Structure 1
Amino acid sequence: MTDESTSADRGEVTPPEFDPEDALVLDDDRFAPENVALVTGAASGIGRATALVLAENGLTVVGTDVDEEGLAGTAEKADEFDVPGTVETVAGDLREDVPGIVESAAEHGRITYLANVAGMQHIDPIEEFPMDAYDAMQDVMVRAPVELSKHCLPRMREAGFGCVGNMASVHGHYVTSDKVAYNVAKFGLRGLTQSIAAESRGDTEAEGNVRAFSISTGYVKTPLVTDQIPDTAEQRGVSVQEVVEDVMLGQSRTTEMMTPVEVANLFAFGFSEHASHLNGGDLRFDDGMTLTYE
């Protein structure tokens, strides 16, 4: 019996702690202290794991989030694990503070990587979906990545290279009910990725060395996902275990959700020179959730 199913039997699913031994470390001369990776949503979940994995690869990481306490926890983890790179933090609201966040990140070196990870969730059918929640989700998950890209891309071109990684989702390929804002946002992030790629062929080699990719996973054991399990169970009149096994993994060809560090490793690979031809593409690690059937 897996840890996940055991915790589900207790009525809970708990996100795992980061373990540096699980980090993918790549041989890449550009993963150096003078190069900055700006990571949103860095206070927890995939954002925290991405910040730590990129720091394990020797980069200077600037993590941003509205959650100052969570950001401090990410920096403490970096110190605890004595990562080769560094994790700096800048608290900010992606709905208001994007220019300042980018300026603060640039104080630590050349911004060459941007990981748009921050996400939100709200579950309601379209007829009942509160528009203030919809607007907040679009601001954080679509508008902010566009604005961050707008401010970071010129810095990448000036540096001679760079890459934007966008945290999309299996919900950017097909959708489930009661998540209209999330579904729309994830399709939007794939559109942003492809838009950056469409504009990446510049007049000079440096301008053309800037690219973008997205990552589409199924369900990942993050606070964003695990916190919605009880609500989904109540809404559907089923148990927590049934939500995990039937709702979240019912279309999947696996019995376990991904972990945050597994997703963070995809960002590290996508940013690396090993992925130099990954431009506009989507790394779909969905455990067979799409394009398969029984």
Structure 2
Amino acid sequence: MTGTTPDDRTALVTGGTSGIGLAIAQRLRTDGLQVAVLDLDRPGARQVAGDHGFAFIAADLSRRADCVDAVPQAVTALGGLDVLINNAGFQHIAPITEFPEDTWDAMLHVMLTAPFLLTKHAWPHLRRSGHGRIVNVASIHAQVASPFKAAYISAKHGVIGLTRTAALEAGEQGFTVNAICPAYVRTPLVEHQIADQARTRGISPAEVEQRVMLESAAIKTLLNPEDVAALASYVVSRAAWGMTGAVLDIDLGWTAR
């Protein structure tokens, strides 16, 4: 759902060459926005960007310098910046007592420090936009916890605090900041997790979906990336001008209990 006028704004989507990020980038492009996608500098990522007509920003978001440089690169490629989608992330599953400390540092940097830095450096461009939007793709794990995901859950909880604080500061400056919290989405990452758990538990992938991933959900079906992209499309639209500081669950009823 978008506004009634053509949308000629520009958007930067992190983690935009696969999964949820790619679906959001495709949807925003369909909505009329010019899109740059940010990802690690891999041939496959560049190929995806090229195939879809996206500008490509090569960056490692675990590195502060790459985060700082990403916004001016996007502005140069697009001619401005109106929308920032902080989506990039990764998971590592392990008990706290066995969690690698360097992995903890990397995950918090990619999923919490990087959104802060990108927000900070995008701020003047979004202020000038008149229709600026930030969407932080969090997770249902920004609202609830599960074992063995300490860094992921800590980072995602932090993203909600960042979203709400930034929304309060951005309100008088004419742009909005919101978060989307999906339950499990059928992405390459989740498919890999399903396969791993099926091997570990000695059950079928379908049983992993139903008995593990969807146990707490009211709707027993994994989301698709396009479902998240549809919500992001509305949140960045001009029609959503009055929505800011919102934490929008698309969680299959997970938190209704």
- TM class by shorter-chain length? over 0.9
Deviation readout 1:19-41 (Å, 9 max, x if unpaired): xxxxx5x2354720xx2100000
**What is the CA distance between 1:239 and its match in structure 2?**
3.6
Q: Does 1:52 align with 2:52?
A: no
Letter in 1 for 2:57: V
Q: Does 1:167 align with 2:137?
A: yes
Q: CA RMSD in A?
A: 1.7
Which stretch shifts more, 64-73 or 97-106? Answer: 64-73
**What is the CA distance between 1:76 and its match in structure 2?**
4.2
Does the 8 Å contact 1:36/1:60 carry over to 2? yes
1:193 is matched with 163
Match of 1:119, SS state, is coil
Q: How does 1:95-114 map to 2 (within 5 A)?
A: 95-96=62-63, 97-107=66-76, 108-114=78-84
Does the 8 Å contact 1:40/1:64 carry over to 2? yes
1:94 is matched with 61
**What is the CA distance between 1:158 and its match in structure 2?**
2.1
1:21 is matched with none
Q: Does 1:135 align with 2:102?
A: no
Q: Counterparts of 1:190 and 1:74 in 2: how far apart (Å)? A: 30
Q: How does 1:1-294 map to 2 (within 5 A)?
A: 26-29=2-5, 31-32=7-8, 35-79=9-53, 87-96=54-63, 97-107=66-76, 108-202=78-172, 207=173, 209-236=174-201, 238-292=203-257
**What is the CA distance between 1:134 and its match in structure 2?**
1.0
Q: Counterparts of 1:216 and 1:240 in 2: how far apart (Å)? A: 24
Deviation readout 1:57-115 (Å, 9 max, x if unpaired): 11110101004333334334425xxxxxxx21111111221222111110112211000
**What is the CA distance between 1:227 and its match in structure 2?**
1.3
Name whichever structure is richer in helix by fraction: 2
Letter in 2 for 1:39: V
Deviation readout 1:107-129 (Å, 9 max, x if unpaired): 11221100001010001111111
Q: Counterparts of 1:47 and 1:199 in 2: how far apart (Å)? A: 26
**What is the CA distance between 1:233 and its match in structure 2?**
3.5
- TM-score after normalising by structure 1: 0.82
- How many residue pairs match? The answer is 254
Q: Counterparts of 2:120 and 2:231 in 1: how far apart (Å)? A: 23
- TM-score after normalising by structure 2: 0.93
Match of 2:248, SS state, is strand
Structure number with greater Rg is: 1
List runs of 5+ in structure 1 lacking aligned partners: 1-23, 80-86
Letter in 1 for 2:33: L
Q: Counterparts of 2:139 and 2:239 in 1: how far apart (Å)? A: 22
Q: Counterparts of 2:207 and 2:101 in 1: how far apart (Å)? A: 30
Identity among equivalent positions (%) equals: 39
List runs of 5+ in structure 2 lacking aligned partners: none
Does the 8 Å contact 1:121/1:182 carry over to 2? yes
1:4 is matched with none
Q: Counterparts of 1:136 and 1:235 in 2: how far apart (Å)? A: 26
**What is the CA distance between 1:133 and its match in structure 2?**
1.1
Q: Counterparts of 1:260 and 1:77 in 2: how far apart (Å)? A: 19
